[in-house]
Amino acid sequence: MRCTLYLQYFSKDIPRSKGRRLSRSVLANFSEERLRRILEEAGISYEVRDCYYPRIPWQKTKMYVLDSNLKKTSILKLIEKKL
């Protein structure tokens, strides 16, 4: 099963209404390198693409296309615990 994670999900600068999926307190130590390390430790294969996030189409970002049997919410909870 494939799912996508936009970097906007992890941006502490935008509100939840614009797409942030995790709490700001958890995201204080967030970096792309840590995200990649967490995905690799969990054994989740991914591909990084440049894109525009639908809720903020004027801002260029990156999208992680994951190939995993887990649901997106389960993956986000896993990332939240490891941050």
What whole-number distance in Å separates Cα of residue 65 and Cα of residue 19? 17
Please state the pTM of the whole predicted model. Answer: 0.89
Q: Indicate the pLDDT class of residue 1, thresholds 50, 70 and 90.
A: confident
45 Cβ contact partners less than 8 Å away, ≥ 6 residues apart: 66, 67, 68
d(CA 3, CA 79): 15
Task: Give kind and range of the element (H or E) at residue 78.
Answer: helix 72-82
Q: From residue 48, give the alpha-carbon distance in Å to each of 17, 27, 64.
A: 24, 20, 5
Confidence of residue 20 (pLDDT cuts 50, 70, 90): very high
Q: Which fold has domain 2-82?
A: Phenylalanyl-tRNA Synthetase; Chain B, domain 1 (3.30.56)
Mean pLDDT, the chain, rounded, equals 94
Q: Could you read off the pLDDT of 26-54 as tens digits, one per residue?
A: 998 899 999 999 999 999 999 999 999 99
Residue ranges per structural domain of the chain:
2-82
